[in-house]
Amino acid sequence: MKQVYLRPGKEIPVKFKHHWIFSGAVSAPKERIEEGEIVQVLSANREVLGHGYFNNKTTIQIRMLNFRNEDPLMSLENNIKSAVRLRNSLFDENTNTFRVINGEGDYIPGLVVDRYNDVLVVQVATVGIEKLKNRILDLLKKETTDWNITTIYEKSNMPARIKDGLESFSGHLWGNEIEETNVLENGIKFKVNFVKSQKTGLFLDMREMRKLVGEYAKGRNLLNCFSYTGGFSLYAAKGGATKVTSVDLDKDAIENCNENFALNEITSPNEAIAVDAFKFLNDDKLNYDFVILDPPAFAKKKEDIPNAKRGYGQINRMTLSKIPSGSFLLTCSCSYHLSFEEFETVIKKAASDARRELKVLAKHHLAPDHPININHNEVDYLKSLLLYVE
């Protein structure tokens, strides 16, 4: 195995088990290394720090697969086993959809795997994981035999993959070539088209917030903006909301939302509207006493932050200026580049502009199947505030 040395003093983050090594920390290799090739990483003093895969085309030049002098392929196998074991301990028969591998959170940077009942959906973000893909598939099939998986589908269309020198790819890797399946999440049924949907099929990282909405929704008239296929809406209806209105620009998502309500045999009033959420918030009187604002990421890169702040400010200001006193507002951001403190400041200003007083009832609840490596918190991107509006 080829060796890569770090510059003096650059080993400290690695010793604290941070997975990323940036190009400025790496001494020029003495021999040619292929993109994605696994290398042994050593300090300037020749101390073995672990192993990672190399890419000279990106700012993050090495992504660590382990932090010890152990066969990295054995570490990969052990980390997949550990990830599956954790998920088996988290969920019972009422939930058969969850994240199986969460990148750095499960010590496998560049890899995401989600389960949808009998389907695994894989996302490969880096050339290093691309080279390990066949081995990973064999390990996944071996470790998930109790789940009766019949299909493995790859949906690798994220921008990070392009930066790593790979083209987008989607397609069946193994098993039945189906496009959709029905899943259970806390006993609630969803029809998931993992081929045509956003992300891998569902926004699994919002499970705990959906559950929280269900706990607060009883007797409330709820508006779910940017509703997608109706996750929050279903939990609200199951939780006893008197009426649920779902709004999303995507007509297919709205149709899927209606199908999910039928799948769960929900008879309480439900209205699903295909319209731009900004327009709806501007035009409607908003006679709702529970509103959910969970828009797509407004800041996909650092340069987008000013526009993102304006967008979050606009939808929250419009909502807060209209909804009645005593209402609940769940407002969220999935913009990686916007910090929680910045998001909270935007909400404070929106409340001030709308002349409303707010009480924080809850902050974002991390979904346990999306663990974060305590030494690598860059993947902690979700922000949510459940607010009581005076």
The tens digit of pLDDT for each residue in 208-232 reads 999 999 999 999 999 999 999 999 9
The tens digit of pLDDT for each residue in 142-153 reads 999 999 999 999
Strand partners, 60: 22
The tens digit of pLDDT for each residue in 248-288 reads 999 999 999 999 999 999 988 999 999 999 999 999 999 99
pLDDT of residue 380 exceeding 90: no
The tens digit of pLDDT for each residue in 182-213 reads 999 999 999 999 999 988 999 999 999 999 99
Could you report how far apart the first and last alpha carbons of the chain are, in Å? 63
pLDDT of residue 387 exceeding 80: yes
Sequence-separated (6 or more) residues with CB below 8 Å from residue 53? 36, 37, 38, 39, 62, 63, 65, 110, 126, 127, 128, 129, 131, 132
Sequence-separated (6 or more) residues with CB below 8 Å from residue 40? 1, 2, 3, 4, 48, 50, 51
- Provide mean pLDDT across the span 63-68: 98
On whether the CB atoms of residues 194 and 179 are closer than 8 A, the answer is: yes
- Domains of the chain (ranges; CATH) run 3-66 (2.30.130.10), 72-183 (3.30.750.80), 203-389 (3.40.50.150)
Structure tokens at 106: 């499960």
Structure tokens at 118: 């009998």
* Beta strands per DSSP E along the chain: 3-5, 20-22, 38-42, 48-54, 60-66, 97-102, 111-116, 119-124, 151-156, 169-175, 180-185, 188-193, 221-225, 243-248, 270-274, 290-293, 327-333, 358-363, 383-389
- Provide mean pLDDT across the span 382-388: 97
